[in-house]
Structure 1
Amino acid sequence: MFTNYKYTVTERFLRYVQIDTQSDPLSKSFPSTEKQKDLGRLLVQELHEIGLSDVEMDEHGYVFATIPSNTSKDVPVICFCSHMDTSSDCSGTGVKPIIHMHYDGGDIELPEDNTVIKAALHPYLASKKGDDIITAAGNTLLGADDKAGVAEIMDAAYYLVAHPEIKHGTIRILFTPDEEVGRGVEKLDMKKLGASFGYTMDGGELGSLEDESFSADAAKIVIDGVSVHPGTAKDKLVSAIKIASEIIDALPKDSLSPETTEGRQGFIHPVRVSGIVEQAEIDFILRDFVTAKLRDHAEFLQNILDQVMAKYPAASAKLTVTEQYRNMKEVLNLHPQVTAYAEEAIRRAGVEPLKMIIRGGTDGSRLSFMGLPCPNIFTGEMALHGKSEYVSIQDMQKAVQTIVYLAQVWEEKA
């Protein structure tokens, strides 16, 4: 079906990554950075150029569009979704994408900051010998997470409009801000979206299909110490900073952390510490594939807090836990066809599906519990959130095919 097709995914991707859309986890606004709307405005323009209907970007930065049905069948409305923002872990300003044609399988030396992507540390990259690989220049992230997904959805939309002989139901397109800070669908109007089932395009290696994610809570400890002038502080001053460091030091060294766990093992992870003598805060993320275990992690953290604070009766502290998202598998188990159709589409693209779990979350995790069962499909994005990020052009093209075939499968099964 794609014989002699001139993909637009690469040129779109190269254009999108040069727009800085880094989100800000400390911002209280929505979206967390206005610059995310710069990409949103470009996507609205390009969606109009493709010929789609209902194209708009709302006040919150969500971009919507519709590919109208071209079949007489009653097909459920499906949605394809990707996020526009990039991680705050590495600069996304001044991204200079580089295409390494016919990659030779070895290390990739980048021109900036003496950055080298070592094949020995990236076995998937080494397996892409012969592919055309896109990287940044070495001083920024690339932004394949998730602009690869954005570009793939855009190219698939372009293909479907240009090939009306491919029958499909109504397709809704959604591009979101702030996924990287865990707020990607916080302001989303589900009625306006109007879809029954969805797919996030935000996965990694070729063929991967993720229908199981972490369940996630955020935890915050606020410590109130006693501030006294250091010259007269003996037996009076109680440093909230030192208490915070003692709490962190009491965490297990050989378990319950990202650096000591894998597979379906959960963790308690301090991600931010701030404060002065009088008051300090520690932000944690709690993660597990079994939702009930999040309560165990919170209780474990509370026990550490109680043990430490028992030594400082003049000080006080409080632990607050906030729900973030839940394991999408709990919803997708009720709608097995959503994942099954994705597996069929991946096979039609000539790729063997790889059922995987997400040691993290995507917009799909929250969307699933908002009424849109939503597994995650590969985009080719790899080595995320750092200067070694890369993507294979051939992987992106296969993702485009998968989207098109998936639209076709839903129509055929209706």
Structure 2
Amino acid sequence: MLVKSLNVLILIVLLPFFVKAQTCGITNIALGKPVTVSAEQQYHVGADAVDGNVSSGWFAPGDNNYIYVDLGQSYNICKIKIIWQTDGRGKDYKAQVSTDATNWTDIFSRTNNNASTDSFTVNGTGRYVRILIATRVNNWASIEMSELEIYNSLAGNTRPSVSMTLPANNASFFSGANIKLTALANDPNGSISKVEFYQGLEKLGEVLQAPYTFTWANVQAGTYSLRAKAYDNQNADSLSLPVTIIVNPSTRWSLLGNQGTNPDSVFLGTTDNKRLVFKTNNAERMTILSDGFVGIGTSTKPNAETKFAVNGAVYAKKLKITQTGWADYVFNDDYRLPALSEVEKYIKSHKHLPGVPTTAEVEKNGTDVGEIQALLLKKIEELTLYIIEQNKKIEEQQRKISELENKEVNRN
């Protein structure tokens, strides 16, 4: 007897955990349903109260009006929400339910309403729900109801189940990959309304219907934790277990562009001592030798220190060369300026200026742009000194001529 009593006690204690509680749904079951009204205005008919648009509404003149909705089947009604026009709201009214639209049972009563939106909890069962309005606020010309919403009770809702099926836990990818995310979601007492995909707290995207697959595009290197979150038709949600993926720096190289690559291991070039050749029309156009020398139109390195050679014309808008040993030393006080007679003698003997390379040397070795510019500047500065010196001699000669002319004038 004691054991039996104990079992009954345990059942009473645990019963609430096994029986699903009734919850009020979130879907307006009056939306778009047929309505019957006591009266209506031409442009504000009864159907406007259940169209989901608060800008429209049902208007009826005076007091003692009603509107009822045919829900199409019997429901356990748990909540009613009325949205009134500000001035045309009802003052005293009640809510009723019926199974035949003839015999009505009161389930709620409101007096002295002063709210534009009135939402109240009820408990009644019926196919028809009626709002019976006795009086209106401030004797306004008409009752003006923007929306009538009705909600029904549901059995205790069980959360949906959801799991990630792709990618697999600890799967690895390369940077820039488009990763396919797939989830499996079910709801035991309803339907799945959507599945969202997350990376940490960041929402990547959502899918509204099965198959629940989303592509995460151009994923960069890193370690990521992925989850799926499923919602049912009552807005209950569940979160999947996390799936960890690793996205490695790419070891692949693409002519169309690359991101997230490691330049120490992913590069364009050779790993042996062979040269790298670029061709167009099956003809070699550019060569990079194993020591880094770059040749365009040539693969022959002219000397050990050359890094770049072009066999052809080069056009550029600007060329800058760093240079040491610039020619300003010509203007130093201790610089020995060769006499013009020495220069003349050198030119007659060698057929070029002192220090300037010969035609044969240029044809064989070319010219160093920096060096030749410094050399030309040196000659210009030397020429300037010659001109200054010559000008001094001319001025001195002019002075002496002037003195002689003055003496001749005075003699006469």
Instruction: Give the TM-score normalised by structure 1.
Output: 0.17
Higher strand share: 2
Answer 1 or 2: higher relative contact order, Cα 8 Å, separation at least 6: 1
